[in-house]
């Protein structure tokens, strides 16, 4: 079943068109990566899909209904959003922060019940940060914080999770943990859509890659279909070679340093 249906979707910030006439439908299920150079429109597209940004042209439907016409709380029960690293946050405890994911499931003044507490505990356990529950999120390291963001989205128990660069500033240990976690959710039926900087992460973990360039849809397909040196070179305007990752057997991109090209 189609989840997101984009038709001629455009978005602009003032005079700058960040997303231009994208027509694309995203089916339910799977792990989809949005890739492309900085400023390609990945974050903007996610903002459109999450309803935070209104399209300047075209339309985007979620389950057949224009996103702007969805009730905000009902939409939040369907779609969880993990934003890019937030630099200023109030010092809530990790537990309180993750519990915010339960907000759309209760009337705003209704106390949380056993079911909510269980969802929070499960989310913390899945993210492997149960031991940090009492700490202030502001006191966590970057990697732990990102896991807390993801745990908050898991507590939301929505069938869809959108993530904006969830691993771009993490060390490989935390990056792999987050990606493993998302991969597992996708395997269990959650639709995961993430903007990713690291193409090799996208290739290793995702079923579908959508490449954007200058706000336009550039390529779409499986990693095997999209991650080819011609495509990647044109996408990033950089010389590179593509080999298979010996473990995952997915295409792996190696940029070619300038000093080699001169030889």
Partner 1 sequence: MKTVDRRLLASILIIGSLAAVLLSLSLGSGFISPLALARSLAGERDSFEFIVLTSLRLPRLCMALAVGASLAVSGALFQSLLRNPLADPYTIGVSGGASLGATVAIVASLSAPWIVLAAFSGAVAVVAAVYLLAMRLRLGGTALILGGIALSFILSSGVMLLFSLSRAEQVHRALMWLMGDLGIARYAILLPGALLALVLGAAAWLHARRLDILSFGGAFARGLGVGRADVARIFWLGSMLAALSVALAGVIGFVGLIIPHIVRLVSGPAHRRLLPYSAIAGGAFLALADAIGRALAPPYEIPAGVITGFFGGIFFLALLLAKGRNEA
Does the protein bind partner 1 through residue 156 (CB under 8 A)?
A: yes
Q: Which of 8, 23, 27, 89 touches partner 1 (CB under 8 A)?
A: 89
Burial (CB count <10 Å: 0-12, 13-18, 19+), residue 7: middle
DSSP letters for 192-249? EEEE-S-HHHHHHH-SEEEEEETTEEEEEE-HHHH--HHHHHHHHT--EEEEE-TTT-
The nearest distance, CB 222 to partner 1, in angstroms, is: 29
**Whose Cβ is closer to partner 1: residue 87's or residue 258's?**
87
* Distance, first Cα to last Cα, the chain: 52
User: CA–CA separation, 27 vs 48, rounded Å?
Assistant: 17
Nearest to 97 by CA among 61, 159, 151, 33: 151
From 18, 22, 40, 80, residue interacting with partner 1 (rule: CB under 8 A): 80
Least Cβ distance, residue 220 to partner 1 (angstroms): 25
> Is 55 near partner 1 (CB under 8 A)?
no
Give the residue with the Cβ less far from partner 1, 41 or 223.
41
Q: Which of 3, 26, 33, 79 binds partner 1 (CB under 8 A)?
A: 79
Sign of CA dihedral 144, 207, 11, 5: negative
φ, ψ of residue 252 to 5 degrees: the values are: -125, 130
69 lines the binding site for partner 1 (CB under 8 A) = no
* Among the listed residues 199, 206, 201, 195, the one whose alpha carbon sits nearest the alpha carbon of residue 231: 199
Q: 97 to 136, contacts with partner 1 by CB under 8 A?
A: 100-101, 103-104, 108-109
256 contributes a contact to partner 1 by CB under 8 A: no
Residue (of 34, 47, 35) closest to 82 by Cα position: 47
Q: Is 96 in the site for partner 1 (CB under 8 A)?
A: yes
Q: Tell me the Cα Rg of the chain.
A: 19
Check residue 257 for interaction with partner 1 (CB under 8 A). Answer: no
Member of 77, 135, 169, 220 binding partner 1 (CB under 8 A): 77
Nearer to partner 1, 76 or 181 (CB): 76
- Chain residues binding partner 1 by CB under 8 A are 47, 50-52, 72-77, 79-81, 83, 86, 88-92, 96, 100-101, 103-104, 108-109, 156
């Amino acid at each position: 079943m189609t989840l997101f249906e984009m038709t001629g979707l455009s978005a602009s910030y003032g005079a700058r068109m960040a997303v231009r006439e994208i027509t694309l439908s995203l089916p339910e299920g799977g792990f989809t990566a949005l890739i492309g150079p900085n400023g390609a429109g990945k974050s903007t597209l996610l903002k459109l899909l999450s309803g935070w940004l209104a399209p300047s042209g075209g339309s985007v439907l979620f389950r057949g209904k224009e996103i702007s016409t969805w009730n905000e709380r009902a939409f939040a029960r369907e779609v969880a959003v993990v934003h890019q690293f937030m630099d200023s946050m109030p010092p809530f405890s990790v537990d309180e922060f993750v519990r915010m994911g339960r907000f759309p499931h209760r009337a705003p003044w209704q106390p949380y019940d056993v079911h909510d507490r269980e969802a929070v505990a499960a989310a913390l356990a899945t993210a492997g940060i149960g031991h940090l529950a009492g700490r202030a999120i502001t006191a966590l390291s970057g990697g732990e914080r990102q896991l807390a963001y993801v745990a908050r989205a898991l507590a939301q128990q929505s069938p869809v999770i959108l993530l904006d660069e969830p691993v771009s500033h993490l060390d490989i240990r935390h990056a792999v943990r987050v990606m493993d976690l998302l991969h597992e959710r996708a395997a269990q039926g959650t639709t995961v859509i993430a903007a990713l900087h690291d193409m090799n992460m996208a290739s290793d973990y995702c079923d579908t890659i959508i490449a954007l360039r200058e706000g336009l849809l550039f390529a779409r397909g499986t990693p095997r279909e999209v991650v080819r040196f011609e495509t990647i070179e044109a996408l990033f305007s950089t010389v590179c070679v593509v080999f298979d990752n010996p473990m995952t057997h997915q295409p792996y991109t190696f940029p070619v340093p300038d000093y080699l090209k001169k030889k």
